[in-house]
Every structure is written in structure tokens, then in C-alpha cells.
Amino acid sequence: MKDKYIVSSAPHVHDKTNVSMVMWNVVLALTPALAFAVYFWGIRSLTLTLLGAVSAVVTEALIQKMRKVPVTVNDGSAFLTGMLLSYNINPGAPWWMPIMGSVFAIAVGKQVFGGLGNNPVNPALLGRAFLLASWPSLMTSGWLKPKTGNLSGLNDLDAIASNLQSLSPKAYDLVTGATPLKVVQTLRDSSFVASINADAGEGIDLANRIFTNITEMASLKNLFWGNVGGCIGEVSAFALLLGAAYLLYKNIIEWRIPLFYIGTVFVLTFLFGPIQGSGYSMMLPFFHIFSGGLMLGAFFMATDYTTSPLTKNGRIIYAIGCGVLTVVIRLVGGYPEGVSYSILFMNVMTPLIDKFSAPKAFGRMK
């Protein structure tokens, strides 16, 4: 058919973006976070990330071979999934964690439904939820200390700690051995406050001191740069914002979801974030948006094309939903961090949101 002209349906010109370009650009945008992770925790974080990414690719290739469909691992989506999954893992986790997570994410989260574009929920988040449900203790303990700081990101930890060790060993363990969100969650727990000291007033007072300390400017700086304990890819808000800026510039992600997500968290934590005895503080919402996986979730996971709503209004509803759930889980839930579960939950709701936010055709009255 060499001598024949090509005939196809209009349009005959095409934008240059394609799937693999999108995926690899997201991978590129995620690398600054990895660089920070390597700086804080050493080469181990790189190894875990690569283990996750490579096993995701291998799993996808194997399943596609088995299903006798074209192997499409070049498009980068499996690599991205594996990478995002590893980003959600504690850098001190055993080496098989990212592998198990990636295999589950790709096999159950994606290939069961026929591969790219068909998955009902974000596979990386599903992988993380799977790991958390399967090995809860391994996933939530054994955090690595950043090279230049401490786990909770408290600015003057030494000053507070020396005081605490004698006062309440439980509180001491907390500020030296937990991630910032865990600290805040524990401080919100009245039973913990009561246990600090028989004298409840003193407990509240102490809790308040730690609370204000962890949400003050100097500690926030640690959070912003990532100088705290946490999962591989989520700690450095700065690095993630850098990548997000690139994606926004490249028009790969849209501003609605991150803005409304982070905005909702900001407003709600300002209103409901303070603990008993602490007043409203402009610092507290910043603490919440820089800590945990919010930046990673809002820019890189909630914006996942496949699992977010199609319409602009739908995306706003979706993002607000994510924000509300994140705050609910952080403030009253059983987990210190709610980003991944809230996005997962809203992923499940996406088809319904799509259904009820279907756009009105231009010029159509209702």
C-alpha cells in the first residue's frame, strides 16, 4: 500500500503531547523529591524507589505478556506507579515492601481492569493501602532520622527533650520518636494528655507547649525543606512544589485540584486544628499543608487523570472532598495521616461525581 495516499478522518493535524510524554514528565517532576530523600536518608531511599518502580514495570510486562496484549511499559505509567508507591513508604522499610506494594498495585489496581486508563482508583495509593493493611507495624514505625535533623522536626528538640525526659517518658518518646503528624495526633488525644501527668492541667500545658513548638516558624522550615521523618517522597514540600510548578507550566496537571485540595485543608485546619487550650494560629494551617503527604497527594496523586473527574466543576467537588476527608482523618481519625485514604475514597466517588456534574452542552437549556 506504499503508493497509496493516507486517508483518515479529520482532524489531520495533532497536538504533540502523547501518553508517554505525559508520564515521563511526571517522573521528571518527581525527581527533586527523590534527590532530597537521598540527601536526608542516603542511598537507601533511591534503592527502595528503584525497586518499586522496576518491579512495577516487570509486573506490568509479565501480565501483558500473559494476557497476550501489546507490552506497553515504555509509556512510563507503570514506572510512575511504582515510583509513587515507593514515595509512600518509610525509608527504613524492608526491601521487599516496595516490591510487594508494586506488584499488588499493578496486578490488582490496574491490570485486573485492563491496564492504563481503566483503573478505578489510583494504583499507587491502592498499593500503599494494601501495605498498610497487611503490615501495619512495619509501615508505621522504624522511621529514619533525617541526616541533619530529628523525626518530629521540632526546632529546639534538645531543649524540650531534656526537660521532658524526667517529666514524662511517654511524651519524651513521642517528640523524639514520631513524625510531626503523629505528634500532633497524639497531642489531640485526651487520654494521652491525661497520662502525661496526674495533674491534668499540667498535661494540657505540656501538650500545648509541644504543639506550639511544632507549629512555629522554625519547625515549619524543617517541614518545608523536608528535614523531618516521613515517607521517601513526601517529606520535602519544597522539592514537590518545584516539580508541581514544572507540571503546571507544562500544562500536564490542572490547577483546580491542588488548589482546592490544599485550600480546603488550609481553611479547615485553621478552624478545627487547634487543640484544647491552644488558640487559633496562622501557623497551624501551614503546618498541616507542609506535613505528611499532602503536597505529594495534591499535586501528583489526586491529579491522576484516570481517577479524577472529567469536568472542571467535578474536579472542584472532588478536591474539596479530598480536603475535607484528609482533615477529618487527621483530626479525629485513627491514622495520623489521611491523604492517601481520602484520595482513594474520592477516587471511588469519581464516577458519581462525573455523573452529577455532567456539563450542559453549549446553548442547551435545562
Cβ proximity to another protein, 199 vs 356, nearer residue: 356
Cβ proximity to another protein, 116 vs 298, nearer residue: 116
**Minimal distance in Å, beta carbon 89 to another protein?**
15
- Residue 348 binding another protein, by CB under 8 A: yes
As given in the structure block, the three cell numbers for residue 358 are 455532567
Cβ proximity to another protein, 287 vs 318, nearer residue: 318
- Residue 5 binding another protein, by CB under 8 A: yes
**Minimal distance in Å, beta carbon 156 to another protein?**
31
Cβ proximity to another protein, 64 vs 278, nearer residue: 64
- Residue 355 binding another protein, by CB under 8 A: yes
- How far apart are the C-alpha atoms of 366 and 360, rounded to whole Å? 8
148 contacts 227 by C-beta, under 8 angstroms: yes
3-state DSSP of 277-340: CCCCCCHHHHHHHHCCCHHHHHHHHCCCCCCCCCCHHHHHHHHHHHHHHHHHHHHHCCCCCCHH
Cβ proximity to another protein, 126 vs 298, nearer residue: 126
Kindly write out the interface string for residues 295-334 of this chain, putting x where it contacts another protein by CB under 8 A and - elsewhere: ----------xxxxxxxx------------x--xx--xxx
Outline where 116-214 has alpha helix (H): 123-134, 136-140, 157-167, 169-177, 180-188, 190-196, 200-214
- Residue 198 binding another protein, by CB under 8 A: no
Q: How far is CA 327 from CA 149, 185, 278, 295, 331, in A?
A: 27, 11, 18, 14, 6
Cα-based torsion angle of the residue sequence 24, 28, 33, 39 in order, rounded to the nearest 10 degrees: 120
> With CB under 8 A, what is the number of residues at the site for another protein?
80
Which one among 200, 259, 271, 352 touches another protein, defined by CB under 8 A? 352
354-358: Cβ within 8 A, 24+ apart: 354/309, 354/310, 354/311, 354/314, 357/309, 357/311, 357/313, 357/314, 357/317, 358/311
CA of residue 107 relative to chain centroid, distance: 21
Which one among 12, 43, 249, 279 touches another protein, defined by CB under 8 A? 12
**Minimal distance in Å, beta carbon 178 to another protein?**
17
Cβ proximity to another protein, 1 vs 217, nearer residue: 1
**Minimal distance in Å, beta carbon 361 to another protein?**
4
Kindly write out the interface string for residues 42-61 of this chain, putting x where it contacts another protein by CB under 8 A and - elsewhere: --------------------
- Residue 207 binding another protein, by CB under 8 A: no
Q: What one-character DSSP code corresponds to residue 13? A: -
Cβ proximity to another protein, 34 vs 132, nearer residue: 132
48 contacts 99 by C-beta, under 8 angstroms: no
- Residue 365 binding another protein, by CB under 8 A: yes
